Amino acid sequence: MERAYIKNLGLDYDYDLLDTRKKTDAIVLHHTGNPTDDDLSANEINRSHQAQGWTCIGYHYVIRKDGTIEEGRPHWTVGAHAYGENSHTIGIHFSGNFEIGEPTAAQIESAAMLLANLCTDYGLPIDRDHILGHRELMPTDCPGENLFSQIDIIVGKANFYAGN
């Protein structure tokens, strides 16, 4: 199986303040949800989350509009992306507001490959029981209707990538 390229930006934070995730049984998809359909980097999100008093970016991965996957919080740590569900999930952030904009084709393809890799690495089935939109865990518009409506397509593509 082809591996997704994940760009390490060398984010600045104290790794000693992060906890190790003891189990992984789901992956949660998010969007930025800012008033504009922006393309925030993991660095920008990290600075914003730290300004709110967090140790670092809450998401494990950020998928930019051009399809670049950026490393956020280390994949083995407890995230800060879905209140009450962080101890057992991986958070993937898509840059953009998908209530007003559409995820790009590059974002969809990169997400599918990343999901194929993560589900394989963690022994998770590549299905809708294990790949969730944030709104399926709590009342929120996240990951935006225009991304949420494409999760089935992304899961299908992830299954294709896992089979190759």
d(CA 163, CA 13): 36
How many Cβ atoms from other residues are within 10 Å of residue 106's Cβ?
14
Q: What is the mean pLDDT of residues 150-156?
A: 98
pLDDT tens digits along 10-55: 999 998 999 999 999 999 999 998 888 899 999 999 999 999 999 9
**14, part of any domain:** no
Could you give the C-alpha distances from 125 to 4, 41, 93, 114, 143, in angstroms and in order? 18, 29, 20, 14, 21
**94, part of any domain:** yes
pTM tops 0.95, yes or no: yes
**8, part of any domain:** no
Query: Domain of 55: which CATH number?
Result: 3.40.80.10
The parent domain of residue 152 ranges over 23-163
**9, part of any domain:** no
Would the pLDDT of 132 be above 80?
yes
Peptide bond into 35 cis (omega under 30): no
Residue 20 gets which letter from DSSP? B
Helix (H) or strand (E) holding 117: helix 105-122
Q: How many domains does the chain have?
A: 1
